Amino acid sequence: MKTDKIEYVRNDENLKESFIKAGKLLQIFNSIDYENVVDKIGVLKELLGTIGEGISVEHNFHCDLGENIHVGDNFYAGFNCTILDMAEVRIGDNCLIAPNVGIYTAGHNINPVDRYKTGYAKPITIGNNVWIGGHCVIIGGVKIGDNSIIAAGSVVTKDVPENSIFAGNPAKKIRNIEQ
């Protein structure tokens, strides 16, 4: 996967169409009866790039495009999950995302001239068996290694090695996970 920045212009017609398509699918998804797993999975298959088996995404899910999100088997996303997928987001198998987590590939330039018109995005990779606690933020360009835990309320701005527990703002390693 490339880690280079992807530049984009918000008023691009193709991008607008993709936003509208995703927005309509998200509106449907978030209004489906809570217990109607079949229809929820059907919409997610249409919205997301790829999905594995045994996934569960709670209501009030939001994303930019959806097509850049790829999730593995046994994926769970809690309420109010937001994934800004202007660049690719890859999430491995057996991952847990607690409520109110933001995964943001998108950013804006420092220079204020035309900041509102343009942006950039950096991909995010989340390995297998990762647990992300509630109210965390994952910033573009980050890779989170297999088996790691991100403690609740953390802001991840740098790569997280496998088998690690990170916490804080900015998130820092607090210990290894012994296997």
Rounded-to-10 torsion of CA 87, 92, 95, 99: 10
User: What are the contacts of 106-111 at 24+ separation with CB within 8 A?
Assistant: 106/64, 106/140, 107/139, 107/140
Which residue among the candidates 59, 62, 70, 108 is catalytic per the annotation? 108
The separation between CA 55 and the C-alpha centre of its own chain, rounded to angstroms, equals 14
Query: Is 108 among the residues known to form the active site?
Result: yes
| DSSP secondary structure, 111-167, as one string | S-TTTTTEEEE--EEE-TT-EE-TT-EEETT-EE-TT-EE-TT-EE-S-B-TTEEEE
How many residues are present in the chain? 179
Peptide bond into 170 cis (omega under 30): yes
Cα end-to-end span (Å), the chain: 28
If you search the block for the tokens 């298959």, which residue do you land on? 45
Residues taking part in catalysis: 108
